[in-house]
Amino acid sequence: MLPPSFSSQLDAYKPKGYSFNDVATRWNHLSTAYREKKGCYTQTKGDHMAYIMARMPATYAACQAVLEEAIGSGLPVPQSALDIGAGPGTMGWALSQLPQGADIIVSQVEQDPEFITFCNRIRPPLKAIHNHKSFLGNTGLSIHDWVTMAYALCELKPAHQEAWVREAYTLVGQSLILIEPGTPVGYQTLMRARDQLIALGGYVLAPCPHQARCPLGEGDWCHFSTRFERTQEARKLKQATLPYEDEKFCYLIVTKSPHLHSLPKGRVLRHPQPRTGHIHLDICAPDGAYKRTTISAKTKSIYKLARSLKWGDDLPFDLPNP
Ligand SMILES: C[S@@+](CC[C@H](N)C(=O)[O-])C[C@H]1O[C@@H](n2cnc3c(N)ncnc32)[C@H](O)[C@@H]1O
């Protein structure tokens, strides 16, 4: 959930004549655009408020989950980060909540004037924030420890995606973090970026525990899920009954140097399936294969660890020989 300092600044920002009903109407319009795959179709002020109140909590939850994974994989907290396609500054808020997040200098690139105004007014607790309007060919952008792009790539045409990935990678000091919706299109977008980044000399840190081709077959796609609390307002806007929502996302963390890698033993690709006396795990393995493994209760040492695993986790033990 976005931190309380965000909510209090948002309350103060709401425009004169702000109407919850107008925002709810704009949210209906936005969610139809998402369903029709038109992407982030923000046109009027109501659209931006609808994105901020109903969609940003979900993209924020995905950003937080991926940043947690980055730190858990051994990346040091960055001193500087560049977020491209920042929207209302979602990633900046997630970065600010990392340990020592208040010491990070964040640069954001966003083309939409409404979102730029929002980012200038509603500011996360970071060491400094710089806002830029254009990305490709912007000579004002320097190298940053981390470069991030969340829910931005798959809204571009494939030819533009390639140019963005290339340019983003030139601005990376240490790591590039990409997040996309957990859909087949989001996955395919990231797979193209993955091929491109490996060809440029990058090393995949997560989610893949290898640099080989993705072993998933046709019709399957690697994605993960994070659960977050819904605010009362978001619940009302979406006419939802549940107090939480699950956001499905795909991600990719690519580093410039191999030495940053911890040694991955595998990635849990689906909800583990516990049975009596054993548990089934679907694993992406370090040899680049997709494996369905059964861990028996007889192998006490790893069974206990296997029982605590969740979809998306790093495997904490070596896969037993079949
Ligand atoms: C779906 S929004 C994602 C916003 C944010 N990253 C998040 O996760 O909530 C994609 C954003 O990319 C921005 N964008 C698209 N093309 C751009 C460009 N050429 N330069 C800068 N921003 C761009 C859009 O204006 C939009 O705000």
162-186 residue pLDDT tens: 999 999 999 999 999 999 999 999 9
pLDDT for the residue numbered 140: 85
pLDDT level of residue 161 (50, 70, 90 thresholds): very high
Cβ neighbors of 321 (< 8 A, separation 6 or more) are: none
Of 42, 64, 155, 161, the residue with max ligand 1 atoms within 8 A of its CB, to mutate for a pocket test, comes to 155
Reported as a pLDDT band with limits 50, 70 and 90, residue 255 is very high
- Which among 41, 52, 112, 247 is the best mutation to test ligand 1's pocket, defined by most ligand atoms within 8 Å of the CB? 112
Residue 108, pLDDT > 90, answer: yes
115: Cβ below 6 Å to ligand 1? yes
Atom of ligand 1 nearest to the CA of 133: 21
pLDDT at residue 26 is higher than 90: no
130 band by pLDDT with thresholds 50, 70 and 90: very high
Q: pTM of whole model > 0.85?
A: yes
Protein residue whose Cα sits closest to atom 12 of ligand 1? 85
% residues pLDDT > 90 (the chain): 76
Q: How far is the CA of 221 from the centre of ligand 1 (A)?
A: 24
Q: Whose CA is nearest to atom 24 of ligand 1?
A: 85
pLDDT of 135-155, one tens digit each?
888 788 999 999 999 999 998
Whether 260 has a pLDDT exceeding 60, the answer reads no
Look up residue 49 and give its two tokens.
């408020």
pLDDT (average), residues 200-218: 95
The radius of gyration computed from the CA coordinates of the chain, to the nearest angstrom, equals 20
Distance between Cα 84 and ligand 1 center (Å): 7
Mutate which of 43, 48, 90, 151 for ligand 1? The one with the most ligand atoms within 8 Å of its CB, which is 151
**Does 41 have pLDDT greater than 80?**
no
Tell me what the mean pLDDT of segment 275-279 comes to.
96
Domain boundaries, the chain: 4-260, 267-307
* Per-residue pLDDT at 124: 97
pLDDT mean over 226-241: 92
Q: Which of 111, 149, 160 has most ligand 1 atoms within 8 Å of CB, for mutation?
A: 111
Q: Whose CA is nearest to atom 14 of ligand 1?
A: 85
Paired sense of beta strands 244-255 and 224-229, if any? antiparallel
Q: Which amino acid is at 44?
A: T
At residue 105, the pLDDT reads 98
Q: Which CATH architecture has domain 4-260?
A: 3-Layer(aba) Sandwich (3.40)
Residue nearest to atom 4 of ligand 1 (CA): 87
